[in-house]
Amino acid sequence: MRPRARAHVLSSLAVMLYVAAPATIMLTAHETVRIDRLERSAASGVTASRHGELLPPGTNTIRLDRGTYHFRTAGDARLHVTDPDSVTMTTSNIDKCIDPPPLLPSAPDDDVLMAFAGAKGGGRPDHIPALTVTYGDAA
Amino acid sequence: MPPDSGLAIHIGADLLTSPRHTRWPVVRSCRDTVERTTRLAAAAGITRHHQLLGTSASRARIGHTLREAAAGLDPHGHLLVAFTGHSDREPAGPGQPPGIGWCVHDGTLPLAEVAALLSVVPPTALVTVIADTCYAAALSGFTIPATVILLAACGANQQVLANPAEGFVTRLEQLVLPGGQPSPRCTSYRWLNRQLRQDTPDVERPRVWTNRLSAWSRRPFHPVSRQHLAGPQPAAIAGRAGNQ
């Protein structure tokens, strides 16, 4: 049995943020975005809990404490990091398992070792949105 | 043996053995989710439950259980199928929908097969599917004669996190059975759809889908009455009209 014809374009960008010290980022996207904080426990492994309120479309300033965070978008996004020494990031076009960057001098060891146990679905996106990253004081 | 008036199949694919799937993160909430869907099915008046976890969540076992359930269901009965676990997606050619399937113990169970099995359910019966997986709404792309209500963790082209602190079914149970009791506010699938979609990111948005307009006003997870499908069956009406 074949499904009825329908557009099923999978467009997905997944971004991991490794925050070594409290930092501020500015995220611009044309969609509502959720930022998750990843935490590890012996009982339940790595779980993703929502960090703060949902971010409405537009530019949002987010304060992040030390830790590991994750967000996904279906469209292009811009990320501005004021302190590049405190925040490093990894992007992936598949959510299944995002490996952390191998060597991050400013990231705490525990977070570097934390690989994200990603989504409940396998398969590569049909479209990978672009992430533009800028650094410094001026957004 | 009399036909079943209500039957539920709860699938928790928490043990994957195919080489592609073993590298994927284990969905640790499967057992908990199956318990939650069992409580939801019980609230709907269903007393017969099959819980398929671990090695029991195999292609053959799921197929056999679905086939028996579909064939043995009362014409006005209710079949609830819940799946929690990974799904896989293989992009198809231009203009073609991707091939999506549920990842189970020993491989992938294509949604086309699930839909074919559900198509055997009497057209006057009710099928509720809870899909707690990626590409969850993709089952809505198939034609199934029975009334189908699909509660999907996300859209057909969306993915959900494998191990969120609060998953889709947890949220669903909180809305339908807060504190273990039916919510007086949960009076229709229209309401439930709005609540599920509130406060969610665009990249991962749950949805309720049904192939019958009349189902939107049904009370979610409420025992089914024999008159639950009083609405017309389009194919049957067309057939009668043609014979007159």
Highest CATH level, class, for B4-243: alpha beta
| Mean pLDDT of each 10-residue bin along chain A, 139 residues long | 58 90 96 93 80 96 94 94 89 56 46 57 79 80
Chain pair A-B, CB pairs under 8 angstroms: 144
DSSP per-residue letters across A90-108: EEES--SEEPPPS--TTS-
Look up the ipTM and state it: 0.83
Model confidence pLDDT, tens digit, residues A15-40: 999 999 999 999 999 999 999 999 88
Are B20 and A123 an interchain contact pair (Cβ–Cβ within 8 Å)? no
Model confidence pLDDT, tens digit, residues B164-223: 888 999 999 999 999 999 999 999 999 999 999 999 999 999 999 999 999 999 999 999
Element (H, E) at B132: strand B126-132
- Which residues on chain A are in Cβ contact (under 8 Å) with B95? 5
pTM of the model: 0.88
Residue B84: which residues within 8 A CB-CB, separation 6 or more? B11, B12, B13, B27, B29, B30, B33, B34, B37, B132, B133, B169
- Which residues on chain A are in Cβ contact (under 8 Å) with B165? 47-50
- Which residues on chain B are in Cβ contact (under 8 Å) with A4? 97, 141-143
The residues spanned by each domain of chain B are 4-243
Instruction: Find the closest chain A residue to B139 by CA distance.
Output: A3
Distance from CA of B110 to the nearest CA of A (A): 10
Instruction: Find the closest chain B residue to A51 by CA distance.
Output: B165
